[in-house]
Structure 1
Amino acid sequence: MTQPTFSLTRRDALKGIGGASLIALLPACRMAPASELAPDAMLDQIAYNLLGHEPERATGLGVDTGDFAALRAKLSDKTPDGLARYAAALETDLEAVRAYPREGMTADQLTGFDVVESAYSTAVEGFALPYGDVAVGSWRNAPYVVIQNVGAYIDMPRFMDSTQPVRDASDVEAYVARIEAFPAQLDGELVRMQQARAMGLVPPDFLLDKAIAQMEQSVASAEATYRTPLERSEIEAAKAAAERTGAIVRDSVVPALERQLAELKSLRGEAKGDAGMWAQPRGDEWYAWAIKASTTTSMSPDEIHEQGLAELEELHGRMDPILKEIGYTTGTVGERMQALSEDPRYKFAEGDPGRKQIFDFIDERLAWIKAQMPRAFNTLVDPNMEVRRIPVIEEAGAPGAYGGSGSKDGTIPGRFWINLRSTDLHRKYDLADLTYHEAIPGHVWEGEYSNRLPLIRSILAFGAFSEGWALYGEQLADELGAYDDFKVGRLGYLQSLAFRACRLVVDTGLHHKRWTREEARRFFVERNGSKEEEVASEVDRYCSWPGQACSYKIGHSEIVRQRSRAQQELGAAYDLKAFDDAVILGGNSPLDVLAKNVDRYIAGTKT
């Protein structure tokens, strides 16, 4: 494949591309002009315009049905031209939202329009940058199109195994169609890798080493990976389709993966060990946008860095007396937490016996927290969810866990994914807190509320809210008594918050203050007592997702600040359950929109 030059920014490219949405290409989906639509219909049109460019999300939400069933067989266009069309469509819809009259809207409709305007304006700014992936209403902004935790080679296996439905013959045909489209998607990424390289963008050597190893594993396991979901299906058509799929993978998918692998290996020959965006072309500009996108604030890297240091000091001040009480009296908080992590009483067994212990522990904690939710919310949900191991192919580059909501139609459950490459990643004093963060009252719980909102609100998510809420969920669990009889567990919770404060320091340290990878790792281990194996993967993740790690604590601190404001302004009229409802029913939103929702809660309580 030839290596094209990259002389234009994506914004330049937009000038020659119309703003027509891909959704207009689908049959039976002609939309009315925005001026003729009611607010809710306008928001729905915007949602389906977006899903036309990201059809995988339509499947994840369970809305690739009826007039939009064709989306189930399509994949996102990851070529430069495809992204330019996507950006142009976003810009068109952004202009329509800004021009739409707001008079007479309900509070929920106003929030919806505010959310779209915020998400789209930030995304359009990101698409104007010369390289990288832009997460529209999501969290995975990345300068490197393919790396150890970014790229279709990672996303596609999990998606086809756990999200793509195989319930009837039409599903089977859609499955095969997506596999047929996969090589073109991989080659679209390859072109962008080559374009970015022509600009001088070369990922750090240590990230490339991980990505190369994972890509080699992807190539070796590709046929089994994509045949397996069909082979385990009870549908007769799926059995025959497995043979066709195997041939497509051998003849087209594997060669496309090998082309990406060759590019990664070629990049490795040019790579250096500099970890941060400061070392990349226009890296300071890219990072400034990334932290704006991740935090939904205008905070500078220096402001975030200083907030992280201050919050870390405050949290360690809360941990110190507990450590002394349980007999850890000498050394820094970090040193004492390191010693605590070696206590065999809090370790899980090795191997599969320990993995079973971990699943049993999670199940017990989920049962407890579910019973507490009526004490924290007036409006309750009953999440359809499951706990699953992160696929082995992803474990090396994945965090300790992650979680999220299921589909809007309820057919795909919310999931708490746990990394079990080693049981030593987890301790009995920190796994409960992780469960509350990823599942209930955290990500899975929050997603159930978002799925009840108009479609566009289920699509657009903001890390500062979703991660801030998940940390607030950890706080709620503590306030509801999770650690009243297990003080070491409270240490795990406080260390979790301190870990997120460290993230503010480390992310800005890497990308703005020119820290090395080793300096970043040492900060976690020495200052916070974090486990070395855990932070090694963490730090590498910050290098490939700049700014994302800042969203957690910035969002949590803002939710807590809004709660304190409500308590002060309402006095005796303040009610925890009413506040929690106001925040979560308002839906996932930028932090300034969250503040408006709290304003309305306060005003409504006063009347």
Structure 2
Amino acid sequence: MKVSNREFYAGLPKDEELRPIAEMTLEIYLQHFPFVATDLGLHDWDEALPPVSEASRQVFEKTLSQARTALNRINPKTLDREDWADYMTLKFNVESLWLDVTRDHPERKDPNLFNAVISASLLSLARGQFGTADSRGQALLERLRQVPGFLMAGLRQLDNPPALYVDMAIDQFTRTLPFLRDDIPQAFQDVNSRLRQDIAEASEQAAQAYENFVDDLKTKIKPKAHGDYRLGPKRYWEKFYWLEGNEASLDELLCMADKELERLQGKLQVLVAQYEPSTNPQQVIAHIRHDHWSRDTLLKHTSQLLDQLRDFVERQQLVSIPQSVHPRVVETPAFMRLTTLASIVPPGPFEQSSRQAYYQVTLPDSSWSLEDQEAQLQTLNKATMQMISIHEVYPGHFVQFLQIPKTSSTVRRIFGSGAFIEGWAHYTEELMMEQGYGDGNLALQISYLLEALERLGRFIVAIRLHRGDFTLDDAQKFFETECFMTPMGAKRETLRGTQDPFYLIYTWGKFQILHLRRKAQERWGSAFTLQRFHDALLSHGMPMFPVLEKLLFSESK
């Protein structure tokens, strides 16, 4: 199936050998992951869930095999700078996908993968602003109707998953039922009456399929679930290499992380003593959490906060912000509240209709107890909301999104490096503190360090869990004692690390950007400015760091 978006083809590589490989690879990738296409603004597969038949898997594998062979026949040294970057991006992504399809088979080991795919597929339509409500609702209806068959096929693929994954899936599938039964129909209340009724019926059928799947997990899968979630050191390093181009050994990565841990903990100790002498971090954290806005004023103050952040970024000339309207600050829709405190929802890089972005903040539900409402507001305290808004909006992800049009590359618009995407947003938190945002506000600086310690905890725990150094209890204790997290938060992050072995990308990505900044300072000398560096960094799409480094510092290749 061809992509109908003209911009997609206009941005393919110019090289006559590379162009058809890129076209073939991207088309099969989007067909295999249609919810990704929807989020990108490519709407040819809006009515589809990922294909799960053995025949479709074989087609995907065959296409990847053809792409690997064809890419290996090309000498990248013969390509110009832009096509070289596309070639490297394609090669690493094809190899990473190849490992999943032919060796690692995540769909056989993690039943919650099916829930994640279904949720993402429905969410991309429910929160979308493209087309009409009826057209999005019709596409969603088609995806809903495929859920029972998708889950039946998924169940047949499971092969000795870890018992931990089964337990987590049972919990997540159960928690998703209100999303299907209540939130999805509510999100499409404005469609025509017949479609509204069809969506409600299909949502209930999907929910029943979820309940059946949970029963099967308990009775058929759990008794035979004896797999190991750990990748082991060899596979961990190999997968990380093909995902992000990392060449450092696991020991070298941990050495970097241990030095950063000592630095961050030292800074925290100093700031806590300044904030409140003779106290401990937990007491200071509790005090900071109590300084928050009310439920009724949180969105208004958040919108004002975005003005302050943008003014600071522009005044300090940290990065160019293309002319645009603010993201609209809105309450997080009910169907997203389970998984997010606050998030930016930009239109996809190929979206041709609405260009409005939304900054969603999860307010406490007025039906909750007063204690639970207060706990949510404390989580969204003033200092934390500033850090989240830096990360998500200015100068974090939203600015990153605004810069994407600077590259015409279709390959690098579709295949983005998670480490660059999350590393940039995390780096900007440190950047803003470094440049004096907040005028020395201790609560804000402490909040940044706590965010940084949590991300660094992910870095260390991910490697040590999957290498076998840590048990689950060791990992949770590490988050609690070294990163000052609550037991509940520490447990959440530990469990996430078993399923998301590369959630170290936040800190690793920050490390890479700081490395590139130091190199730019050395290379550019007196011509270096933060704005020049950041504009150059964001002007090439979102490629993996080895590609980005070449683009930044090579005149030709």
Normalised by the size of structure 2, how large is the TM-score? 0.84
Whole-Å separation in 2 of the counterparts to 1:566 and 1:584: 14
Q: CA separation in 2, counterparts of 1:413 and 1:90? A: 35
Q: 1:243: which partner in 2?
A: 197
Q: Which amino acid counterpart does residue 560 of structure 1 have in structure 2?
A: L
The letter for the 1-side match of 2:256 is Q
1:565 equivalent in structure 2: 519
Amino acid at match of 1:144: D
Residue in structure 1 matching 2:537, options 583, 590, 594: 583
Question: Cα 1:391–1:89, aligned 2, differ >3 Å: closer, same or farther?
Answer: farther
- CA drift of 1:373 comes to 3.5
Match of 1:423 in 2: 377
Partner Cα distance (1:499, 1:423) in 2: 20
How far has the Cα of 1:517 moved from its partner?
2.7
Q: Separation in 2 of the partners of 1:298 and 1:214?
A: 35
Distance 1:168 1:568, change over 3 A: closer
Alignment partner for residue 185 of structure 2, among 221, 227, 235?
Answer: 227
Q: Which letter maps to 1:76?
A: P
Find out whether 1:372 has 2:312 as its counterpart: yes
The 3-state SS of whatever aligns with 1:515 is: coil
* Residue 52 in structure 1 maps to residue 31 in structure 2: yes
Letter in 2 for 1:211: A
Superposed displacement of residue 221, structure 1: 5.6
% of aligned pairs identical? 18
With over 3 angstroms needed to count, the CA separation of the structure-2 counterparts of 1:126 and 1:505, relative to structure 1, is: same
- Gaps of at least 5 residues in structure 1 are 1-22, 134-141, 331-335
Give yes or no for the alignment of 1:362 onto 2:328: no
**Structure 2: which amino acid aligns with 1:328?**
P
2:438 & 2:3 partners in 1: Cα distance? 55
Per-residue CA shift, 1:456-496, capped at 9, x if unaligned? 32211111111111112212322443222412211212232
- Report the Cα offset of residue 192 of structure 1: 2.1
CA distance in 2, matches of 1:125, 1:377: 37
State how many pairs are aligned: 537
Match for residue 117 of structure 1?
91
Q: Is the 8 A contact 1:160 1:226 kept in 2?
A: no
The answer to whether the Cα contact below 8 Å between 2:184 and 2:335 also exists between their aligned partners in 1 is: no
Q: How many Å separate the matches in 1 of 2:120 and 2:455?
A: 26
Q: Distance in 2 between matches of 1:230 and 1:392?
A: 12
Task: Mark the CA change 1:115 to 1:463 in structure 2 (over 3 Å): closer, same or farther.
Answer: same
The question of 1:526 aligning with 2:485 is answered no
SS at match of 2:38: helix
Deviation of 1:427 (Å): 3.4
The answer to whether the Cα contact below 8 Å between 1:462 and 1:588 also exists between their aligned partners in 2 is yes
* Residues 366 and 170 of structure 1, relative CA distance in 2, 3 Å threshold: closer
- C-alpha change, 1:224 and 1:160, in structure 2 (3 Å) is farther
1:407 aligns with 2:348: yes
The equivalent residue for 1:12 is none
Q: Which moved more, 1:573-582 or 1:210-219?
A: 210-219
Moved more, 177-186 or 562-571: 177-186
- 3-state SS of paired residue (1:430): helix
Report the CA distance shift for 1:515/1:189 in structure 2 as closer, same or farther (over 3 A): same
Q: CA deviation at 1:370?
A: 1.7
2:113 is aligned with 1:127: no
Q: State whether structure 2 residue 275 is matched by structure 1 residue 326.
A: yes
CA distance change for structure 1 residues 386 and 80 in 2, over 3 Å: closer, same or farther? Answer: farther
Q: Indicate if the aligned counterparts of 1:284 and 1:512 stay in contact, CA closer than 8 A.
A: yes
| Alignment CA distance shift 1:435-1:143 (3 Å) | farther
How far has the Cα of 1:511 moved from its partner? 2.0
Post-superposition Cα deviations, 1:67-118, rounded to whole Å, max 9, x if no partner, equal xx4x222221134543343233233234334445657755333322221222
Cα distance change of structure 1 residues 228 and 575 upon mapping to structure 2, 3 Å threshold: same
Rounded to whole Å, the distance in 1 between the matches of 2:429 and 2:327 is 18
What residue is the counterpart of 1:190 in the other structure? 155
Q: Distance in 1 between matches of 2:3 and 2:542?
A: 30
After superposition, residues 76-87 of structure 1 pair within 5 angstroms as 76-87=50-61
In the alignment, residue 177 of structure 1 is paired with which amino acid?
E
Matches within 5 A, 1:133-532: 143-146=109-112, 151-163=116-128, 165=130, 167=132, 170-193=135-158, 196-197=159-160, 201-204=161-164, 208-219=166-177, 222-233=180-191, 238-250=192-204, 252-266=205-219, 267-269=221-223, 277-278=229-230, 286-293=235-242, 295-329=244-278, 336-343=280-287, 346-348=290-292, 353-354=294-295, 356-374=296-314, 375-378=317-320, 380=322, 382=324, 385-387=327-329, 398=339, 400-403=341-344, 405-408=346-349, 409=351, 411=354, 413-418=356-361, 422-453=376-407, 454-532=409-487
Q: Distance in 2 between matches of 1:48 and 1:113?
A: 16
Superposed displacement of residue 521, structure 1: 2.2
Offset of residue 556 of structure 1: 0.6
Cα deviations by residue, 1:271-323 (Å, 9 ceiling, x for unpaired): 68x9x733xxx655553444335543133433333322211101222333322
In structure 2, the partner of 1:598 is: 552
2:15 & 2:463 partners in 1: Cα distance?
A: 46
Hey, what does 2:368 align to over in structure 1? none
Superposition deviation, residue 127 in structure 1:
2.0
Q: 1:386 to 1:99 in 2, by over 3 A?
A: farther
Distance between the aligned counterparts of 2:3 and 2:514, measured in 1? 45
CA distance in 1, matches of 2:13, 2:310: 43
The answer to whether the 8 Å contact 2:13/2:83 transfers is: no
| Code of the aligned partner of 2:190 | R
Supply the AA of the counterpart residue of 2:63.
A
Secondary structure of 2:112's match? coil
Hey, what's the Cα distance between the residues in 2 that align with 1:401 and 1:292? 31
How far off its partner does 1:560 sit? 0.3
Cα distance, 1:371 vs structure 2: 2.0
Q: Which amino acid aligns with 1:183?
A: P
2:46 alignment partner, SS class: helix
Measured in 1, the distance between the counterparts of 2:13 and 2:549 equals 28
- Whole-angstrom CA distance in 1 between matches of 2:84 and 2:31: 24
Residues 381, 53 of structure 1: alpha-carbon distance in 2 compared, 3 angstrom cutoff: farther
